[in-house]
Amino acid sequence: MSSTTETRELFSKATTPEGDVKALTKLRMKAGAITSVVETEGDNWVIVSVWNVFDQQ
Amino acid sequence: MIASRKAVLVLIVTGRTQNIDDYPLSAAVLDLEAYQFAGSLPGAVLGTAADAKVKDDDAKKQIFEIQRKSIVAAKAARDLLDALLDSIKALSDPDAIALATTPPVQNAVVDNLLAARDPGGTQPWLRIGSAAKQALNMMVSFASVDDLAKWKSVLP
């Protein structure tokens, strides 16, 4: 069983400025992501965020 | 170091179950040397880096790829999301649990994300304030722009 979850959010480079995507990573961190970075994948920006399991107690 | 030795030991034990063609003596000797090296100080140093990669690989076992619209990243949406995250943080534990129990919108992607972060399947956001806030953060973070407005209507 995985102890972390990775989300990959794809945004088209044609319609989304890189600055907007980078700014969104800060909100992913504020929401509790362990890490959140922007990668590039072909025609897309990809926000890669890693999340821990929920508090259990 | 222990994890590295165990990893090599698994190779050896697995190899012992194979026939001589599939796991020849030369391979066994190499594995034994690796087993010895994994227990040494240099091996431990290298093992630390290897362990980090294992953890990285582990982190990628549950990957969710989500196609987003550009408007989700636009400043107005970010400002709203920022404000919603602040509102969630300020919720009392009972209010957070109540909202996480009956959110204003249903989202299949979010449901899958919640399940992924709840490997025990205990749904802690239904009874633990901090977990409820973590869940609410996920719900608003992966909401559509239209749904953000619905969240705004139920958060103080």
- The interface pTM score, or ipTM, of the predicted complex is 0.94
Q: What residues are paired with A7 via a beta bridge?
A: A49, B64
Other residues' Cβ atoms within 10 Å of the Cβ of residue B156: 7
Indicate if the pLDDT at residue B46 is higher than 60: no
Supply B107's token pair. Answer: 């989202």
Look at A54 and B117 and tell me if their CB atoms are within 8 Å.
yes
Domain range annotation of chain B: 2-59, 70-154
Mean pLDDT of B101-120: 94
Closest CA of chain A from B93, distance in Å: 13
Convert the pLDDT of each residue in A32-54 to its tens digit.
Answer: 999 999 999 999 999 999 999 99
A residues 31-50 closer than 8 Å to B (CB): 31-32, 50
Indicate if the pLDDT at residue B35 is higher than 90: no
According to the model, what pLDDT value does residue B19 have? 45
Nearest to B67 among A1, A10, A30 (CB): A10
Mean pLDDT of B130-135: 97
Q: Which residue has the tokens 């003596």?
A: B25
Look at B82 and A5 and tell me if their CB atoms are within 8 Å.
no
Convert the pLDDT of each residue in B3-14 to its tens digit.
Answer: 444 444 434 434
Mean pLDDT of B69-96: 97
Supply A54's token pair. Answer: 């929920």
CA-closest candidate to residue B71, choices A41, A21, A28, A49: A21
Integer Cα distance of B21 and B39 in angstroms = 28
Closest CA of chain B from A40, distance in Å: 14
**Is B105 touching A (CB cutoff 8 A)?**
no
**Is B44 touching A (CB cutoff 8 A)?**
no
Indicate if the pLDDT at residue B74 is higher than 70: yes
**B11 compared with B82, residue with greater pLDDT:** B82
Look at A11 and B134 and tell me if their CB atoms are within 8 Å.
no
CB pairs under 8 A, 24+ apart, for B88-95?
B88/B133, B88/B136, B88/B137, B88/B140, B88/B155, B89/B133, B90/B156, B91/B133, B91/B136, B91/B155, B91/B156, B92/B129, B93/B128, B93/B129, B93/B130, B93/B132, B94/B129
Proportion of chain B above pLDDT 90, given as a percent: 60
Cα–Cα separations (whole angstroms), residue A18 to A4, A56, B73, B82? 26, 36, 10, 19
